[in-house]
Structure 1
Amino acid sequence: MTTATKNQQTNRQTSQQAKPVESKQQQSKKSNKKTSHSDLRLDDDNYYSKDTDWFWQSPTWFKKFLNCEAEALAELKGDYIPDFDQTALLAGNYLHSYFESKEAHEEFLENHPEILAKTGKNKGKLKSNYLIADKAIECLETDPAFNELYQGDKEVIVTGELFGVKWKGKIDCLNLERGYFIDLKTTAKLDKKYWNNKEHTWESFVAAYNYQLQMWVYQQLIKQTFGVVCQPYIVAVSKEKVPDKAIVSIPDYRMEEAKREIEMRQNHIELVKTGQIRPNFCGKCDYCKEHKLLSSIIPMDQLII
Structure 2
Amino acid sequence: MSMTRPPIQKTLNKETYYSIESDRYYQSTTFFKNFEKCETATVAQLNDIYKPDINQKALLVGNYLHSYFESHTAHENFIKQHESDMFTKRGTLLKDYQIADSMIATLADDPMFNNLYQGKKEAIVKGQIEGVNWKGKIDCLNLDRKIFLDLKTTREIDRKYWNEEKHMWQSFMDEYNYPLQMYVYQQLIYQQYGVMCTPYIIAVSKQEIPAKAVISIPKKRLAEAQEEIETLQPRFEKVKSGFEVPIRCGKCAYCRKTATLGEITSMENLIS
Query: What TM-score bracket applies, with the shorter chain setting the length?
Result: over 0.9
Contact 1:87 1:130 in 2 (8 A): no
Moved more, 176-185 or 73-82: 73-82
Amino acid of the structure 2 residue aligned with 1:48: Y
2:155 pairs with one of 188, 208, 217: 188
**Once the 2 structures are TM-superposed, how far is the Cα of residue 127 of structure 1 from its aligned partner?**
2.0
**1:164-179 equivalence runs, <5 A:** 164-179=131-146
Which residue number in structure 1 is paired with residue 205 of structure 2?
A: 238
Moved more, 72-81 or 293-302: 293-302
Which residue number in structure 2 is paired with residue 69 of structure 1?
A: 39
Report the secondary structure of 1:235's partner residue: strand
Which residue number in structure 2 is paired with residue 136 of structure 1?
A: 103
Report the secondary structure of 1:44's partner residue: coil
- Partner Cα separation in structure 1 for residue 164 and residue 238 of structure 2: 27
- Partner Cα separation in structure 1 for residue 267 and residue 104 of structure 2: 48
Which residue number in structure 2 is paired with residue 20 of structure 1?
A: none
**Once the 2 structures are TM-superposed, how far is the Cα of residue 78 of structure 1 from its aligned partner?**
1.0
The structure-2 alpha-carbon separation of the partners of 1:299 and 1:136, relative to structure 1 and needing over 3 Å to count, comes to same
- Partner Cα separation in structure 2 for residue 237 and residue 118 of structure 1: 25
- Partner Cα separation in structure 1 for residue 155 and residue 241 of structure 2: 37
Contact 2:8 2:133 in 1 (8 A): no
Which residue number in structure 2 is paired with residue 218 of structure 1?
A: 185
Which residue number in structure 2 is paired with residue 152 of structure 1?
A: 119
Amino acid of the structure 2 residue aligned with 1:236: A
**Once the 2 structures are TM-superposed, how far is the Cα of residue 121 of structure 1 from its aligned partner?**
4.6
Which residue number in structure 1 is paired with residue 94 of structure 2?
A: 127
Amino acid of the structure 1 residue aligned with 2:43: L
**Once the 2 structures are TM-superposed, how far is the Cα of residue 281 of structure 1 from its aligned partner?**
0.8
- Partner Cα separation in structure 1 for residue 148 and residue 250 of structure 2: 37
1:113 pairs with one of 46, 60, 83: 83
The alignment covers a number of residue pairs equal to 266
Amino acid of the structure 1 residue aligned with 2:252: C
Gapped runs of 5+ residues in structure 1? 1-36
Amino acid of the structure 2 residue aligned with 1:136: M
Amino acid of the structure 2 residue aligned with 1:46: T
Deviations 1:127-176 (A, max 9, x none): 22322111110111111111111111101111110001010111000011
1:96 pairs with one of 66, 71, 75: 66
- Partner Cα separation in structure 1 for residue 84 and residue 28 of structure 2: 28
Tell me which stretches of 4 or more aligned residues in structure 1 moved more than 6 Å: none
- Partner Cα separation in structure 1 for residue 76 and residue 205 of structure 2: 24
Identity of aligned residues (%): 52
1:205 aligns with 2:164: no
Amino acid of the structure 2 residue aligned with 1:96: H
Contact 1:43 1:157 in 2 (8 A): yes
Contact 2:61 2:100 in 1 (8 A): yes
TM-score normalised by structure 1 residue count: 0.84
Amino acid of the structure 2 residue aligned with 1:104: A
Report the secondary structure of 1:112's partner residue: helix
- Partner Cα separation in structure 1 for residue 130 and residue 84 of structure 2: 41
Contact 2:8 2:127 in 1 (8 A): no
Which residue number in structure 2 is paired with residue 82 of structure 1?
A: 52
Contact 1:154 1:172 in 2 (8 A): yes
Q: What is the CA RMSD across the aligned residues, in angstroms?
A: 1.5
- Partner Cα separation in structure 1 for residue 108 and residue 67 of structure 2: 13
**Once the 2 structures are TM-superposed, how far is the Cα of residue 297 of structure 1 from its aligned partner?**
3.4
- Partner Cα separation in structure 1 for residue 169 and residue 61 of structure 2: 27
Contact 2:203 2:215 in 1 (8 A): yes
- Partner Cα separation in structure 1 for residue 148 and residue 124 of structure 2: 13
Which residue number in structure 2 is paired with residue 40 of structure 1?
A: 10
Which residue number in structure 1 is paired with residue 229 of structure 2?
A: 262
1:253 aligns with 2:220: yes
TM-score normalised by structure 2 residue count: 0.94
1:286 aligns with 2:256: no
Contact 1:115 1:130 in 2 (8 A): no
